[in-house]
Structure 1
Amino acid sequence: MTRGKRQNNKNNKGKKLICLALILLVSCIIGFEAYRMISAYMIKKSSDNQWPAHDLTSGQYSGSYDGIDISRHQGRIHWDELSEVKRLKFIYVKATEGATIQDPWYEANINQARKHQIPVGTYHFLSKMPAVMQFENFRAVYDKERQDLLPVVDAEDDGTKGLSKSEIQLLLKTFCKLCKSYYGHTPIIYCSESYFKDYLSPEFDNYYLWIASYDHEPVLPGKPHYDIWQFSKHGRVPGVWNWVDLNRFAKNRSLGDIRIKQ
């Protein structure tokens, strides 16, 4: 093989690699744009003040709960009907997620809860983004004057997948410290029973804990005990036209334990 032919082959290989890289780049951009458009559509749909147009649930109404947590996924809430539920002691409303996402229903939900005199609090969904950026997103939405209950940080596999235990703990501790420093309140930590065991125990034993466990009462390692138990994600509640999470206090806990002390 002559030097000229070898050089041409090298050039051809280089062009092929460049073309392949461009194709991959374009594919990634198209994929990201498709994801962004789908996400934007879903958020827009769920922020429509007429969605859902009819009750998406069926069957008997749920019982044995003390509180619910809501977000854009529940859509329009019929507050006059919900406020008549005598057993409802509290509502938590999603405000933010990660460093940029703000729930489109937050303002309406927290204002309506206060209007109907239902004790209300706010939660942030933790992502892999830097804690300072996430707290700034939360701070931009969270108004401490409209809060009855301690803030909550929601830590789940969906948000922190790919981080190590030490990275998750640093992220969560930093967010909690910023919250404590700015608002004077350490947030309640929401997570599943398995998430607490795998990532948070025992470093977060002394925090207020809101634990999700859908087939048995939470059992945590070591000395901590849950304060709130999310026992169902398929609850049917009057005035909420989509399935909703159901929560109850531990036997030794009550609304007074999570109220913001004035």
Structure 2
Amino acid sequence: MKHRLIRGVAAIAAGIVSCGQAPASAGENPRATGPEDHYAGSQIERYEGTGGVPDLRYSAEDQVLGHDVSSHQGVVDWPGASGAGARFVYVKATEGVTYTNPQFIQQYDGSHSVGLVRGAYHFALPDVSSGAAQANYFVDHGGGWAGDGKTLPGALDAEYNPYGETCYGKDAAGMVAWIRDFVGTYHARTGRAPMIYTSTGWWRRCTGDNGSFGDTPLWLARYDTQVGPLPASWRTQTIWQFANHGALPGDQNWFNGPMDRLRTLARD
């Protein structure tokens, strides 16, 4: 879908500014932190940097504005987020097989209470357990799905390792097998394929730009004024995380389509 730039409008993207942050060198772990700091894109920001131009924003004619949050945001003002234009949100539920977001109920149920379409995501740690084990942990701790038009399929957050080697010590074949194990288990448990959240850079580096996940919706991270090249598996993105801050709490996202298509994704 073509995204048109509009100059001089800062209502949504007023907070999108370049952080002047250079990407980390290959294989470098910029900063090991705890799971409360591992939100969707936290490591992509550190490895790939952020961008954006404050006097540009995208047309919302055929897109839906949303965001994603984690315990990093704490207690979220959901009426405020809705009033600022949010129509959907992804909430971090789990990481690995030991961490659950202590703010999950306030964030997940709170967003639902103001009418947002919401989903949950899992921060993957492919070096600590199998994809199946993490998919099961995710589903058992908030990552399930209901075909009610209000619940988005769960999302697998696949990005740079915050604790060590970039690709979690796996070669491309091993990483692809791990992701396939997660996706297959999630589908078996819920009847839906999960969303895959990633960046083109990470996907190319850690999966060898594998092209076999095209039936799985893509949530693309790229902090810039254009979507840019996609990973090999996909011809288009379902959601684009375009900025790491802005008018809404947490990261800023566009759903690639109108509201009725967003509800279809949450239903079918």
Q: TM-score range by the shorter chain?
A: 0.5 to 0.7
- 1:144 corresponds to 2:154: no
Give the distance between the partners of 2:176 and 2:258, measured in 1 at CA. 27
2:108 is aligned to 110
1:256 partner SS = helix
Instruction: Trace 1:46-125 onto structure 2 (pairs within 5 A).
Output: 64=58, 66-85=65-84, 87-125=85-123
Counterpart-to-counterpart distance in 2, 1:75 and 1:221: 32
Bigger drift between 135-144 and 214-223 goes to 214-223
One-letter amino acid of the counterpart of residue 204, structure 1: F
Structure 1 vs Structure 2 CA RMSD: 2.8
Residues 39/226 of structure 1: CA separation in 2 closer, same or farther (3 Å cut): closer
- Aligned partners of 1:161 and 1:221: how far apart in 2? 19
**Aligned residues between the structures:** 201
Would the alpha carbon gap of residues 196 and 260 (structure 1) be closer, same or farther in structure 2, given more than 3 Å must change?
farther
CA pair 257-168 structure 1, distance change in 2 beyond 3 A? farther
Task: Point out which structure has higher relative CO (alpha carbons under 8 A, 6+ apart).
Answer: 2
User: Counterpart in 2 of 1:206?
Assistant: 215
Q: 1:220 aligns with which of 224, 230, 237?
A: 230
Per mean C-alpha deviation after superposition, the further-off stretch among 129-138 and 174-183 is 129-138
Q: Give the one of 135, 153, 156 matched to 1:153.
A: 156
What is the CA–CA distance in structure 2 between the aligned matches of 1:207 and 1:119, rounded to whole Å? 19
* % identical aligned pairs: 26
Q: Quote the residue 1:190 is aligned against.
A: 197
The reply to whether residue 245 of structure 1 matches residue 267 of structure 2 is: no
Q: 2: CA distance between counterparts of 1:182 and 1:105?
A: 24
CA displacement 1:196-232 (0-9 Å, x = unmatched): 3332421223321111111331312556222211111
Instruction: State the one-letter code of the partner of 2:213.
Output: F
User: What is aligned with 1:166?
Assistant: 173
Cα offset for 1:63? Answer: 6.4
Runs of 5+ unmatched residues, structure 1: 1-34, 44-59
Q: Give the secondary-structure state (helix, strand or coil) at the position aligned to 1:259.
A: helix
What amino acid is the match of 2:102? P
Unaligned runs of 5+ in 2: 1-31, 38-53, 59-63
Amino acid at match of 2:221: A
Evaluate the alpha carbon distance shift between residue 195 and residue 257 of structure 1 in structure 2; reply closer, same or farther with a 3 A threshold: farther
Q: Name the TM-score, length of structure 2 as normaliser.
A: 0.66
The structural deviation recorded for 1:257 is: 4.6
Distance in 1 between the 2:135 and 2:239 partners?
Answer: 23
Q: Structure 1 residues 154, 107: closer, same or farther in 2, change over 3 A?
A: same
**For each residue in 1:153-177, what CA deviation from the matched residue of structure 2 results, as whole angstroms up to 9, or x when unmatched?**
1101126432111111111111111
Counterpart Cα distance in 2 of 1:97 and 1:195: 18
Flag the structure with higher helix content: 1
